[in-house]
């Protein structure tokens, strides 16, 4: 489960401006349908870290820090992120139904699809408020990359002919592309110099890669209480993340995942794989890959002047690696 973070320590010079982003997001609650308001509050209010908006605001400090442009920019990325999660829920529900469709779960799909669309619409409206075509095009492109990422993730479920490179491509689409757009977008709308825009994009991209890898490691290592779902839930759902891929590389000929995916005692074999992965050095090895991306994120900052926002960006890269939930 996402814990709220100490935003003022983590986001330094922009922490005080994040409530304005929340306020804009909360303007969505002003709808005629009480049940929609309730769904929005669940989707948007759930103690998220607001890391993407924070990155946008921080990057805005590379130029002429203008909250009139940055707040809609930051809100648009957070909303795009949340809309994607809402649609992922529909997709996950479909997974649960596999082989056992129930009327109730099908009925519940409809509001989630519509809620996600409603959020996409507002995200598009927010980014359009920046009045910046380059940012808008990036946003549309990110939406496309994310949707393609969703697609490739879904069909890869229960396929094990996957390798690490394809995993990295997948998490770029799923997570890093939006971090990159959040960061680059903040710099662009504030008119930062082009080398700083490029540094912001690179930083966001590599930070997002590190963030997702750590997320995928935590899915194995954290306790069920911390996660709010069973440890190893990705693998149980048929999704191979980095630790599982490294495990399959280590035992290429025969292993419990391979046996599970060919239909043999699925649940028991997957649980055995989860236990073995947790006890192996593979989580540490995965984290090492995450650390490499965080290091690249920090290296991208070399193009920026000393001081803020560089210092806070550096601290954020460290936090992403060190976090435990």
Residue ranges binding its own copies (CB under 8 A): 31-33, 35-36, 84, 87, 90-95, 106, 108-111, 113-118, 120-122, 124-125, 127-129, 131, 133, 136-137, 139-141, 143-144, 146-148, 150-152, 154-155
Distance CA 315, CA 69 (A): 25
CB nearer its own copies, residue 139 or residue 172: 139
Orientation of helix 164-171 relative to helix 242-250, angle to 10°: 180
Nearest to 53 by CA among 81, 17, 78: 78
CB nearer its own copies, residue 128 or residue 168: 128
CB of 112 to its own copies, least distance (A): 9
CB of 168 to its own copies, least distance (A): 16
CB nearer its own copies, residue 62 or residue 146: 146
CB of 120 to its own copies, least distance (A): 6
CB nearer its own copies, residue 123 or residue 213: 123
CB nearer its own copies, residue 1 or residue 114: 114
The beta-carbon contacts of 128-136 under 8 Å, at least 24 apart in sequence, are 129/69, 129/72, 130/69, 130/72, 130/73, 130/185, 130/189, 131/69, 132/69, 132/188, 132/189, 134/188, 135/73, 135/185, 135/188, 135/189
Distance CA 166, CA 179 (A): 19
CB of 41 to its own copies, least distance (A): 15
CB of 47 to its own copies, least distance (A): 25
SS3 track for 299-317:
HHHHHCCCCCCHHHHHHHH
């Amino acid at each position: 489960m996402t814990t709220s973070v100490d935003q003022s320590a983590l986001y330094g010079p922009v922490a005080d401006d994040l409530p304005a982003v929340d306020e804009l997001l909360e303007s969505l609650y002003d709808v005629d349908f009480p049940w929609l308001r309730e769904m929005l509050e669940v989707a948007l209010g759930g103690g998220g870290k607001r890391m993407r908006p924070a990155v946008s605001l921080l990057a805005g400090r590379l130029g002429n820090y203008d909250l009139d442009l940055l707040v809609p920019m930051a809100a648009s990325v957070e909303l795009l992120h949340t809309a994607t999660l809402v649609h992922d829920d529909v997709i996950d529900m479909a997974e649960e139904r596999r082989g056992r469709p129930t009327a109730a779960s099908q009925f519940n799909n409809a509001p989630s699809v519509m809620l996600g669309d409603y959020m996409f619409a507002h995200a598009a409206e927010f980014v359009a408020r920046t009045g910046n075509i380059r940012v808008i095009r990036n946003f549309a492109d990110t939406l496309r990359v994310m949707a393609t990422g969703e697609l490739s993730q879904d069909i890869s479920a229960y396929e094990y002919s996957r390798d690490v490179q394809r995993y990295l491509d997948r998490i770029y689409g799923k997570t890093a592309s939006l971090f990159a757009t959040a960061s680059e977008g903040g710099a662009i709308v504030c008119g930062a110099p082009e080398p700083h825009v490029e540094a912001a994009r690179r930083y966001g991209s590599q930070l997002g890669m590190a963030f997702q890898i750590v997320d995928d490691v935590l899915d194995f290592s954290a306790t069920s209480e911390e996660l709010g779902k069973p440890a190893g839930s990705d693998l149980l759902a048929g999704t191979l993340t980095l630790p599982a891929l490294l495990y399959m590389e280590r035992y290429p000929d025969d292993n419990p995942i391979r046996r599970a995916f060919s239909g043999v005692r699925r649940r028991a074999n997957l649980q055995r794989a989860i236990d073995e992965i947790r006890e192996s050095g593979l989580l540490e090895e995965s984290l090492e890959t995450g650390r490499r991306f965080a290091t690249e994120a920090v290296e991208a900052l070399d193009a920026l002047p000393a001081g803020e926002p560089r210092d806070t960006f550096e601290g954020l890269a460290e936090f992403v690696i060190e976090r435990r939930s």
